[in-house]
Amino acid sequence: MDRLAALEKDPAARERSYAAAQERILLCSKCHGEDGNSRRDYIPNLAGQNPQYLFDAFEKYVTRQRTDFVMNQAAKLLTLDERVNIAFYFSQQKVHPRPVAEPVDNALVAQGAQRFGTLCVACHGAAALGRDGIPRIAGQPRPYLSHALQRYRDKDPSRADSPMLGVAASLSDGDIAALAAYLSQLQP
């Protein structure tokens, strides 16, 4: 997106965009947190997410290529300018590590690291930070990650045409549990 790239380079425009977004995110903050750290385990963090990915996600919700009851409605309420500003705003926020609810299973985490290194690293990068249109997945809540991977694996219609459908097709339940355990504990 040219407009996002332009924002990266122009400090005054960045400040205007940031301030405009702050006014608009009241609705979002109930679920995603004011600083983009989500309030619930099934809701993704937006903090530190790649702005291009956030922007693309809005487009997919508007066109219903990606479906979610709340998000399809929320995305439609935003103008193009607001989608640019909000994508930029959340990308600038810091991810806070979540408290780990259960004891960390080191063997499971190690298995996840191994699967990630073989299957995922080429696109999501060594630290799982993604880039451009590829999402950062490090530090997302574990239940959100496993649910997302199950939906891709099961070709759930809510994720139509995603490049992840092919990638996830061969994942076992054990792979998904291991990947979610590994990725959720990565500190971004």
Contacts of 84 by beta carbon, 8 Å cutoff, 6+ apart: 1, 3, 4, 7, 17, 55
Q: Which residues bind ligand HEC (CB under 6 A)?
A: 27-28, 30-32, 42-44, 46, 54, 57, 66, 68, 70-71, 74, 78, 86, 119-120, 122-124, 133-135, 137, 145, 148-149, 159, 162-164, 167, 179
Contacts of 32 by beta carbon, 8 Å cutoff, 6+ apart: 38, 39, 43, 44, 45, 46, 90
Q: How far is the CB of 103 from ligand HEC (least distance, A)?
A: 22
Q: Which one, 14 or 59, has the nearer CB to ligand HEC?
A: 59
Q: How far is the CB of 18 from ligand HEC (least distance, A)?
A: 14
The token pair at 93 is 């926020």
Q: Which one, 11 or 66, has the nearer CB to ligand HEC?
A: 66
**Do 54 and 4 contact (CB within 8 A), yes or no?**
no
Q: How far is the CB of 110 from ligand HEC (least distance, A)?
A: 15
- Give dist(CA 10, CA 14) in Å, integer: 6
Q: How far is the CB of 131 from ligand HEC (least distance, A)?
A: 10
Which residue, 150, 123, 151, is CA-closest to 137? 123
What is the phi/psi pair of residue 97, to 5°? -55, 135
Q: Which one, 11 or 69, has the nearer CB to ligand HEC?
A: 69
Q: How far is the CB of 118 from ligand HEC (least distance, A)?
A: 8
Q: Which one, 74 or 108, has the nearer CB to ligand HEC?
A: 74
| C-alpha count within 13 angstroms, C-beta hemisphere, residue 169 | 5
At 96, the amino acid letter reads H
Q: Which one, 5 or 172, has the nearer CB to ligand HEC?
A: 172
